[in-house]
Amino acid sequence: MALRRTIKQDNFDSVLDPAQSGRPAKLTIRLKVHLFPRDPRAHYHAGPGNHIGLLSRTVKETVTGWVDDANHNLFQCRSWTEAEFNAFKIRFKQIVETVWNNQLILVPPDNAPDAGGLSDQDYLQFVSGAQVPAHAQCALDVELMPHAHSSHAIIEAVRLLNRENYAFRSYQHLITNEDLEFQSRRDYRWPSLSFYQVAAAHEVGHWLGGLGPDTDPSRYLPHIDAEYCSKLPGHQNGDSCEYGHTPSKKAGMMGDGSLVTEYEAQPWLYRMIRHTHVLLGWTMVHRVNFAKGAVPVSARQQSLLNGNRAAAGVRRP
């Protein structure tokens, strides 16, 4: 069955580009985001529904107000100027893509078609060279949209009046001007470790969940240890334990770090299954490990390439 090139859905779109000589296959998730400049005088907790925005031409024309964060703590904010918000949008796209990208690789199963694997023709679309294992690079493309109705995600942005040193707790519906910077996080359980994260990238990750209305909590990708922590006594949504109960979990993008782990790979894995119609056997590998040779060239790849050479009358080395 031929590979499906493009999938468009309400949660996000995806595009699978086959490999070419010297260029690997690539699976790109395209998330259409509408960034909304929150009017700080509007009193509501950000979420699905109405949004009240404001842009000012100059700093003198800005207004101030109080906005509550995820914990319902109030912070004084002012309206954005047009120039500030345009710069914020550009930086938002750049930093979110930079943090997510160049990490995740998916390796196809080596199974033959009769064992649930790819056809020979489809398998070769993941091969860019004889010495490079079949694989697909995974990427996130953030497309900034001018209107909410054509977007997958609507995220309000506020500009803090004063430097709050990341005290404002953002969430998938609301971020601040401080959320485009790497923040150092510590955990008393591992005092010698520091975890670094760009909050905006983490909040975008929540939008890589499944289908459903914005009002449905299951529509969003949960924190990396949400399932584990949900079984603990007295657990409440958003508890700190959801961000990782081990250092390796804590380091994940949907924990308190910036690492794309098997957990964050789920959106790409599910889409790869739909693009290829192959359900089992895909392997997630981090780019660093892939570059170090963690994945060998498979026997199937060697056989297919040698067979193609023989069919073309090319002498084998």
**Residue 284 to residue 304: CA distance in whole angstroms:** 23
Nearest-angstrom CA–CA distance, 186 and 189? 9
Evaluate if residue 31 carries a pLDDT over 80. Answer: yes
CA-closest candidate to residue 269, choices 2, 14, 31? 14
- Which pLDDT does position 212 carry in this prediction? 92
Give the separation between CA 55 and CA 39, rounded to whole angstroms.
Answer: 8
Query: How large is the average pLDDT for residues 11-17?
Result: 98
Residue 53's CB is within 10 A of a number of other CB atoms, namely 15
Give Cα 298 to chain centroid, integer Å: 29
Q: What is the pLDDT of residue 309?
A: 55
Residue 252 has pLDDT above 60, yes or no: yes
Q: What is the pLDDT of residues 129-179, one digit of tens each?
A: 999 999 999 999 999 999 999 999 999 999 999 999 999 999 999 999 999
What pLDDT does 1 receive? 62
pLDDT in tens, 92-118: 999 999 999 999 999 999 998 989 999
Q: How far apart are CA 185 and CA 240, in angstroms?
A: 12
When the pLDDT of each residue in the chain is averaged and rounded to a whole number, the result is 94
| pLDDT in the model for residue 316 | 38
Amino acid at 159: R
Asked if residue 152 lies in contact with residue 32, where contact means CB atoms within 8 angstroms, the answer is: yes
The pTM assigned to this predicted structure is 0.94
Question: Residue 50 gets which letter from DSSP?
Answer: -
Which residue in the block uniquely carries the two structure tokens 């990427």?
Answer: 139
Can you give the pLDDT at residue 235?
86
* Number of other residues whose CB lies within 10 A of the CB of residue 150: 10
Q: Where are the beta strands (DSSP E) in 118-190?
A: 136-144, 153-160, 174-176, 182-185
Break the chain into its structural domains and give their ranges. 6-311
- Is residue 133 within 8 A of residue 160, CB to CB? The reply is no
Question: What band does 310 get if pLDDT is binned at 50, 70 and 90?
Answer: low
